[in-house]
Structure 1
């Protein structure tokens, strides 16, 4: 597998986003408004969206996979809040309720694959204890492979981590291994087939360059 698998993924993702559907754009707007509404209620929240919306190839029934980033003082000593956390439970419910109502009658699931407590991240950076921390690995990994909502809430943390050369040296092999594992799943490979079918269903053809990039990515060529 190529060492630059992460770079290939990013190039491929950006090329697919040229085909953003109206459903993808509407959902991005709905999630942005949901985080703004939560902020007015005193809950600072951001998201990294994965899956089809990350690539922009969305239809009305496409589910949404996301990473939840929130500020939680109740569990600021933990990288992610436990499932019973009141803040976590409330925020998830509010986002789902707001987005579902705004995009009705579209019907789809919102799956929260992971969560990160930004209060924990802030403290680790403040105390300069970032090396070897998997929560921080995940934060930077999600930022690079996902599609952000309310980016200003957490991007300063990512910038500070990227300025730490020792941390970057640690995360590169970790991120490559994580993405390779994801690439080797049937679900990931089948997703690209779905994206291509949706593009063709709109009467568009896949450029040769995109097809070649996809093939190289799937085969792990350097």
Structure 2
């Protein structure tokens, strides 16, 4: 799933192509963390609620190791009728789920815990409202389009209807597509992005796989844009 229009953008397509290569050499730590988040989704669903995640960083690329942080975006329905930001002031569920998530990771990993960094949280009520009103200034829609284009989703079914509604709105998509392209250009030129790719390459090579020259050329070409 995801928003195909954005995924077809040349720079996003290139990024996802490189990510696919690294995912083909996924670490056990990455697979375990995806399993942890799926278990958490199931636990929340058993209470009658829903939550979804977009996962960034090393787990997104399948290159997490034991001491890697896990960077996440949380999607949830904040308090009934609340169309505001998903933060501690506007969303009583957020601190509860953050606490439950940390506790479930501790329980699942007993002694091999890892740090979770909540990069962002998107209120699905707000997303629904902004799609309904065609809010061209909505940061929630801009971020949703960006995350769904490049991240690794858990419980993607929850997000699919929002993706379809956004993709069906040509004008909204044009604005978001331009925003995503600008974000990527800034991202590519950051030192942290370059460092992450070098780190992932080292991990693949450490596993015993020699990265082909053609793939090294693609990575260098991407980072030099």
Aligned to 1:109: 115
Distance 2:113 2:52 in 1: 22
Q: Output the aligned Cα RMSD.
A: 1.6
Pick from 166, 169, 187: which aligns with 2:171?
Answer: 166
Match of 1:4 in 2: 10
The 10-residue stretch of structure 1 (129-138 or 60-69) with the greater mean CA deviation from structure 2: 129-138
Instruction: Name 1:30's counterpart in structure 2.
Output: 36
Q: TM-score, normalised on structure 1? A: 0.91
Equivalent residue of 1:76, what SS? coil
Q: C-alpha displacement at 1:75, in angstroms?
A: 6.3
Name structure 2 gaps, 5 residues minimum.
1-8
Deviation per CA, 1:5-58, whole angstroms, max 9, x where unpaired?
A: 222111111121111111111110110110110122233110000000000011
> 1:196 corresponds to which residue?
201
Question: For 1:178, which of 162, 167, 183 is the aligned residue?
Answer: 183
Asked if the contact 2:78/2:92 (under 8 Å) is kept, the reply is no
Shift, 1:97, TM fit: 1.3
Structure 2 CA distance for partners of 1:142 and 1:51, relative to 1, 3 Å: same
CA deviation after TM superposition for structure 1 residue 178, in Å: 1.1
Distance 1:154 1:166 in 2: 20
User: 2:75 maps to which residue?
Assistant: 69
Give matches, 1:124-135, under 5 Å.
124-125=130-131, 127-135=132-140
| Whole-angstrom distance in 1 between the partners of 2:116 and 2:153 | 15
Aligned length: 216
Among 184, 187, 200, the alignment partner of 2:192 is 187
